[in-house]
Amino acid sequence: MRAVPNANRILVATAIAILLCCPAENALGQGQPQKKNQKQICITFDELPAAKSFDDVDREAVTYLILQALRKHEVKAAGFVFVNQIEGSFDILGQWLNEGHILGNMTFSNQDLHELGIEQFILDIRAGWDALETMLEGFGQKRRYFRYPFLHYGNEAEAKKQVKLYLDENDYVVVHATVITEDYLYNLSLEKMGKVPDSAKYDNLLNEYVNHVLDEIVRMEMVAAEVLKRPCRHILRLKANRLNAVFLDEMLGAIKDMGYQFITLEQALDDELYIAPEAYFGSRGLSYIEMLQYSDPDHLPAE
């Protein structure tokens, strides 16, 4: 296992701060200077304003720490809104937009396409946009971005076809992901530590989680080499939860130390990978490269 640099310098107070809504600064370095021909990655967050949890979630504290880390590492991210959860949190979404980040629609209720009927899912997309449209246009964001909840695109051909048709007709840009983490499981581990985590357990979780993210990036580099025969501009999918709030600074520093440059969503979407047709009908939420890898050739357009 790699040792995460300066892990002990993130104090237990950081975790306590997010619970008490008095976020703490840390003074870690900015990582390596930018190098020529760097690898590139875009950072995205699901379930804004904050992902649901078994414990109460302090949305303000989660937002503060995530935005603080993004600002420190000069990252412009994209966040996807679970619209049914934004009541009383429009100011939080405004903080994201004020700092130059992009927001997108993740449906109104964040329900699974694989469990809903086609018409109900499309209505859920429309309801999500109706709630966000005025705010986004007020901040000058003109493009519509969408991410499928759970990265479930449809496990039947007709559902996949009809939802994609609706999105295309309404000028949505679907934002896929190439690097997916199990951050929800690590977040549960953090919650089990309670309000005052043991410092050794906290540092061990930090190292384990950051290494998990780095390992997934390396794994997807190898999958890209196999499927695409080239490197790609990656899109990392995270949840806007307590775990990523307190560990994001270290994670971004470690990704930078891998030789990655942080890019915007628009820059990432310039990669032709994201317009390649796929025909994956499995039940799992996979990275987009894996969806291409496991596509049913009978449902792909003729070359």
* Residues 61 and 23: beta-carbon distance below 8 Å: yes
The alpha carbons of the chain give a radius of gyration, in whole angstroms, of: 19
For residue 12, give the nearest of 193, 238, 188 by alpha carbon: 193
d(CA 165, CA 52): 30
- Residue where the block lists tokens 């939802």: 163
Give me the pLDDT at residue 52, please. 81
Give me the pLDDT at residue 181, please. 96
Classify strands 78-81 and 179-180 as parallel, antiparallel or unpaired.
unpaired
Residue by residue, pLDDT tens for the chain (303 residues) are 555 554 434 433 444 354 434 333 333 233 333 345 679 999 999 999 998 876 778 899 999 999 999 999 999 999 999 988 887 788 999 999 999 999 999 999 999 999 999 999 999 999 999 999 999 999 999 999 999 999 999 999 999 999 999 999 999 999 999 999 999 999 999 999 987 888 999 999 999 999 999 999 999 999 999 999 999 999 999 999 999 999 999 999 999 999 999 999 999 999 999 999 999 999 999 999 999 999 999 998 876
Give me the pLDDT at residue 282, please. 93
CA 190 to each of CA 49, 54, 198: distance values in angstroms, whole numbers, following the listed order: 19, 11, 10
At the top level of CATH, the class of 45-296 is alpha beta
Could you tell me which residues come within 8 angstroms of residue 153 by beta carbon, excluding any fewer than 6 positions away?
113, 160, 163, 278, 280, 291
Give me the pLDDT at residue 302, please. 75
Work out the burial of residue 302: count CB atoms within 10 Å of its CB; fewer than 13 is exposed, 13-18 middle, 19 or more buried: exposed
DSSP code per residue over 158-219? HHHHHHHHHHHHTTEEE---SEE--HHHHHHHHHHT-SS--HHHHHHHHHHHHHHHHHHHHH
CA angle, residues 121, 299, 222, in degrees to nearest 5: 90
Stated pTM of the model: 0.89
Give me the pLDDT at residue 37, please. 60
Domain ranges (residues) in the chain:
45-296
